[in-house]
């Protein structure tokens, strides 16, 4: 399907010219009740889209586009467990992990059993009945994964910092390792006591290069620190490949399953979240699943005009394809949500970075955007200048918890004020006349004022949305991440692309293995030469290892 041939798409293309010179502030004057009408609620979140460059007519046309691509039918296919990942002939059933739906699915009993095992294991580690080889209780959990099995769990662990036990109640420390760069795991292990360390290795195939290398390093470290000890109590595996986990030395009763129908970037809801259940408590993990399930229900049942993920997706399509927006910023005004943009970056860019449709035809539009961001208010002193006065069009999501978990006076009020102030300033801008009046009021010399005026003017009309949550809780975090997951699905549905595969990443892995063989001077590598530019840098690397 070529979405650009649809009447609804052509209608939006014509409408783009109509709204070219529209000011967002004017839309508030033209549309009484705009703030209330465009503040949506669902799954425990509040989604204010009133500051977007989209009129009542724009939204109507966007919802018509959703109907034109049969988005509701595509959503229903996702929830039924149909084969929506066509290139890999798989369903995408991450919702099953948190809702138990679709009811009667053959994997549902195993999913329930895995949750029960996670609860048993996490409780045993937490109460000290799970002991290491020397009889000492576990005080450190090292999570080894990569990509989605690292970004999501690490983000959740930090986001829910206030739900950890404090140091007086036997707090267990977590350490997340992903990079093949040995500096990372070297420094992590250097600060740990092996007898009190549990390593959780997460790898669907148990052959992923980075994860396997780090797991082998951790095993060697344990063997050196605990010579002759039985290391079975120091390892847990989360994998589909039970045989490979067993060959590595992880016993079957210490191996939890993954499933092909759950992609890495959707895996934080699975046994991949075991370290979170250990360090924060299984109840915290369960509550996070419940929050995601609430957003699943909202997405599955809410009408278009009140559907949070669908509306967010349509706005992204609007800006991406009709305003040529190349990036999208996500700015959480909460210190412990600072890792969320990195998780969402993988979720969106790996899912939507495609150039062909589901049926293998060239895509007629640009799909996906560069997603980036950072925590507020720190970003105001780093990258907000480009958002204000740069000549790039960057839609923004501000994420705003309304209540803090600390009791420090003034801090949260200022944080909220900064978030709302940024959104208002980006929308309103500052005209040349306003700048001139401000300079005159401050007594600035006329010549200096005239020189400064163009540099201080803000064009404004920069769109943003605000996602408000009562506070950061396991439920609200689950709902927030599920919101973005469903947003990605809706964008893919409009463009008719597959958001559940990542073949480009796989090709890069293949070439990395070939380069590694060349670096190692493996005779077999001569049969698979690399590009001369790569060969030159391999030679430079070899010389650096043996300086004269």
Catalytic residues: 350, 381, 509
CA dihedral 359, 365, 370, 375 (to 10 degrees): -100
DSSP run (H or E) holding 197: strand 197-202
Handedness of CA 336, 473, 425, 14 (dihedral sign): positive
- State how far the Cα of 333 lies from the Cα of 189, in Å rounded to an integer: 32
- State how far the Cα of 402 lies from the Cα of 472, in Å rounded to an integer: 9
Q: Where are the beta strands (DSSP E) in 419-489?
A: 464-469
Query: Can you tell me which residue has the tokens 């099995």?
Result: 149
Those residues whose C-beta lies under 8 Å from the C-beta of residue 256, and which sit 6 or more positions away, are 114, 117, 118, 236, 237, 238, 271, 274
Helical residues (DSSP H) of 45-133, grouped into ranges: 56-68, 71-80, 96-99, 108-127
Secondary structure letter of residue 356 according to DSSP:
B
What angle do the packed helices 148-159 and 474-495 form, to 10 degrees? 140
How crowded is the C-beta side of 8, counted as CA atoms within 13 Å? 19
- State how far the Cα of 229 lies from the Cα of 227, in Å rounded to an integer: 6
- State how far the Cα of 372 lies from the Cα of 352, in Å rounded to an integer: 14
Query: Can you tell me which residue has the tokens 């053959």?
Result: 106
User: How many angstroms separate the Cα of 512 from the Cα of each of 116, 177, 202, 508?
Assistant: 39, 20, 21, 6
DSSP run (H or E) holding 48: strand 45-48
What angle do the packed helices 71-80 and 474-495 form, to 10 degrees? 120
Cis previous bond, 377, omega within 30: yes
Length of the chain: 548
């Amino acid at each position: 399907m070529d979405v650009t041939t649809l009447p609804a798409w052509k209608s939006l293309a014509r409408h783009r010219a109509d709204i070219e010179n529209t000011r967002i502030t004017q839309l508030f004057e033209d549309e009484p009740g705009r703030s209330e009408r465009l503040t949506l609620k669902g799954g425990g979140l509040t989604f204010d889209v009133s500051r977007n460059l989209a009129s009542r007519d724009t939204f109507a046309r966007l919802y018509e586009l959703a109907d034109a691509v049969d988005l509701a039918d595509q959503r229903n296919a996702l929830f039924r467990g149909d084969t929506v990942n066509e290139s890999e002939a798989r369903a995408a059933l991450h919702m099953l992990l948190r809702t138990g739906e679709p009811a009667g699915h053959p994997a549902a009993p195993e999913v329930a059993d895995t949750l029960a095992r996670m609860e048993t294991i996490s409780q045993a580690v937490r109460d000290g009945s799970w002991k290491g080889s020397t009889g000492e209780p576990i005080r450190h959990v090292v999570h080894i994964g990569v990509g989605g099995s690292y970004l999501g769990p690490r983000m959740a662990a930090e986001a829910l910092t206030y739900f950890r036990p404090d140091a007086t109640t036997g707090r267990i420390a977590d350490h997340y390792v992903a990079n093949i760069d040995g500096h990372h795991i070297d420094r992590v292990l250097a600060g740990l006591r092996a007898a009190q360390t549990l390593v959780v290795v997460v790898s669907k195939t148990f052959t992923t290069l980075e994860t396997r290398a780090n797991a082998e390093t951790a095993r060697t470290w344990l063997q050196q620190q605990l010579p002759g000890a039985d290391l079975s109590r120091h390892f847990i595996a989360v994998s589909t490949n039970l045989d490979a986990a067993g060959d590595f030395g992880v016993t079957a009763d210490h191996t939890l399953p993954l499933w092909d129908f759950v992609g890495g970037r959707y895996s934080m809801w699975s046994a991949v979240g075991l370290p979170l259940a250990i360090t924060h408590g299984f109840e915290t993990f369960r509550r996070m699943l419940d929050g995601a399930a609430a957003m699943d229900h909202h997405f599955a049942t809410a009408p278009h005009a009140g559907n949070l993920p669908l509306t967010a997706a349509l706005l992204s399509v609007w800006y991406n394809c009709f305003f040529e927006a190349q990036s999208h910023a996500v700015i959480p005004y909460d210190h412990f949500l600072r890792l969320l943009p990195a998780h969402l970056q993988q979720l969106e860019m790996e899912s939507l970075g495609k150039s062909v449709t589901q049926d293998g035809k060239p895509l007629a539009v640009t799909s996906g955007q560069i997603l980036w961001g950072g925590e507020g208010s720190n970003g105001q002193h780093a990258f907000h200048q480009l958002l204000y006065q740069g000549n790039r069009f960057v839609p923004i999501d501000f994420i705003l918890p309304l209540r803090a978990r600390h009791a420090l006076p003034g801090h949260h009020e200022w944080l909220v004020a900064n978030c709302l102030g940024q959104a208002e300033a980006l929308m309103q801008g500052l005209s040349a006349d306003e700048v001139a009046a401000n300079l005159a009021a401050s007594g600035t010399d006329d010549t200096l004022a005239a020189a400064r005026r163009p540099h201080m003017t803000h064009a404004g009309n920069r769109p943003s949305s605000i996602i408000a949550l009562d506070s950061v809780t396991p439920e609200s975090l689950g709902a927030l991440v599920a919101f973005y997951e469903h947003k990605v699905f809706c964008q893919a549905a409009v463009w008719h692309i597959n958001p559940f595969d990542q073949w480009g990443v796989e090709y890069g892995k293949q070439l990395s293995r070939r380069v590694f063989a060349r670096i190692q001077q493996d005779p077999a590598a001569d049969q698979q030469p690399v590009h001369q530019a790569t060969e030159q840098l391999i030679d430079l690397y070899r010389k650096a290892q043996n300086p004269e």
